[in-house]
């Protein structure tokens, strides 16, 4: 059992980690997108453009938070908070190492709950109230359309996301992420659960509303979707929440399918392996964004319900049969 002091330190470390990693991922994304598109990317601020995120954040902080006359101001203010809080809360369950990795006094994770996967879904499903309320409260038709798209898209893909992880939970026999990672000592679940892994990644792209599923903020059709009327750091909060969700989805994928902290070398290196796998997931998100065009909205919905959901159900059924037979 861990003392209250350890829990407080852990909370601070999680927040510090996120606040440091998001600007780095932001810069990596802009640099990589540049390379993918045969450009150099941002290279003006600081050596090799390394200080670009600092400039971006300073710009966002110094901007005015304006709102249309038709908006509901208090709800507009609260929506980005919901997005950020729910995204950060999920990070508490990401395991970076076993309990005895560093000295045996504490586990390298925020909390080890027996219902970790459900916890992930609970905060994930609360998170899109941020998008929906933000879009609705803005009092503009583009924001409203973006919010409605977000609601329909997230509720459609959350089912497939849940079913894709059900196979993992059944194979490991637990909903706790720590148990799931420990069960992958011999073989990573990406091998027996390959279909589940593919479904999880596709549905994960839709859950984070990243390209090619970024319909809620499809800038060619509805300006900026739910964040059209947002400016300054409120927009920055939505932006940051999206990147935290990318980290969370990558981390869950790493923990559930890619063996989590398992890797060669001593056990003290566990957080390093977890971090590398997490960043590989983030890189994959950026790679896909640079490679695939945005889908049409009806394509998105029919793909989710007619292809992904039956496939996920089949995956669960086959996994269940295999587990019972062996």
- What residues make contact with another protein under the rule CB under 8 A? 113-115, 118-119, 121-122, 124-126, 128-129, 132-133, 136, 144, 147-148, 151-152, 154-155, 158, 175
CA of 50: how far to CAs of 53, 226, 240, 286, in Å?
8, 30, 18, 18
Nearer to another protein, 158 or 242 (CB): 158
Q: How far apart are CA 57 and CA 62, in angstroms?
A: 9
Complex with another protein: residue 52 or 156, whichever CB lies closer: 156
| Tokens (6 digits) for 266 | 């001593």
Q: How far is the CB of 157 from another protein (least distance, A)?
A: 12
Phi-psi region of 187 (alpha: psi -120 to 50; beta: other; left: phi over 0): beta
Contacts of 236 (CB under 8 A, 6+ apart): 57, 60, 61
Closer by beta carbon to another protein, 25 or else 151 = 151
- List Cβ neighbours of 322 (8 Å cut-off, separation of 6 or more): none
- Compare residues 161 and 202 and give the one whose CB is closer to another protein: 161
Closest CB to another protein among residues 122, 276? 122
The distance of closest approach from Cβ of residue 133 to another protein in the complex, given in angstroms and rounded to an integer, is 8
Cα separation, 150 vs 1, whole angstroms: 40
Q: How far is the CB of 149 from another protein (least distance, A)?
A: 11
Q: CA–CA separation, 241 vs 239, rounded Å? A: 5
Q: Residue 121 in contact with residue 109, Cβ under 8 Å?
A: no
Nearer to another protein, 158 or 214 (CB): 158
Q: Where do we find the tokens 């964004």?
A: 289
Of 95 and 97, nearer to another protein (C-beta) is: 95
Residue 64: CB minimum distance to another protein, A: 27
Closest contact distance (angstroms) between CB of 112 and another protein is 12
Residue with tokens 């509720």: 155
- The least CB distance from residue 117 to another protein, in Å, is 9
- Min dist CB 179 to another protein, Å, is 11
CA-based torsion, 238, 245, 15, 123: positive or negative: positive
Cβ 241 vs Cβ 130: under 8 Å: yes
Q: Which is nearer to another protein, 21 or 161 (CB)?
A: 161
- Helix runs in the chain, H state only: 4-36, 52-62, 73-91, 116-137, 141-172, 177-183, 194-207, 219-222, 232-256, 270-291, 297-302, 309-325
């Amino acid at each position: 059992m861990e003392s209250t002091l350890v829990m407080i330190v852990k909370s601070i470390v999680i927040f510090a980690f996120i606040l440091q990693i998001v600007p780095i991922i932001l810069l990596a994304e802009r640099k990589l997108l540049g390379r993918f598109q045969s450009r150099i990317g941002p290279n003006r601020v600081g050596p090799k453009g390394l200080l670009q995120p600092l400039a971006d954040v300073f710009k966002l902080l110094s901007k005015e938070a304006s709102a249309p006359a038709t908006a509901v101001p208090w709800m507009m203010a609260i929506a980005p908070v919901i997005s950020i809080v729910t995204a950060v809360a999920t990070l508490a369950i990401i395991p970076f190492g076993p309990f005895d990795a560093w000295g045996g006094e504490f586990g390298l994770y925020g909390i080890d709950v027996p219902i970790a996967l459900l916890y992930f879904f609970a905060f994930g499903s609360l998170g899109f109230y941020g998008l929906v309320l933000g879009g609705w409260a803005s009092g503009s038709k583009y924001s409203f359309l973006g919010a409605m798209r977000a609601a329909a898209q997230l509720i459609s893909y959350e089912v497939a996301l849940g079913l894709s992880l059900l196979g993992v939970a059944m194979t490991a026999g637990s909903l706790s992420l720590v148990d799931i990672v420990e069960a992958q000592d011999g073989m990573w679940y990406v091998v027996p659960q390959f279909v589940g892994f593919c479904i999880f990644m596709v549905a994960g792209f839709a859950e984070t509303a990243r390209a090619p599923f970024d319909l809620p903020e499809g800038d060619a059709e509805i300006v900026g979707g739910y964040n059209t009327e947002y400016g300054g750091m409120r927009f920055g909060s939505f932006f940051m929440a999206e990147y935290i969700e990318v980290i969370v989805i990558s981390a869950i994928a790493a923990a559930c399918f890619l063996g989590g902290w398992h890797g060669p070398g001593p056990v003290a290196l566990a957080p390093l392996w977890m971090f590398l796998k997490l960043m590989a997931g983030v890189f994959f998100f950026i790679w896909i964004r640079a490679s695939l065009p945005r889908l049409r909205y009806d394509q998105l919905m029919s793909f989710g319900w007619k292809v992904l959901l039956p496939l996920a159900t089949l995956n669960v059924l086959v996994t269940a049969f295999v587990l019972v037979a062996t």
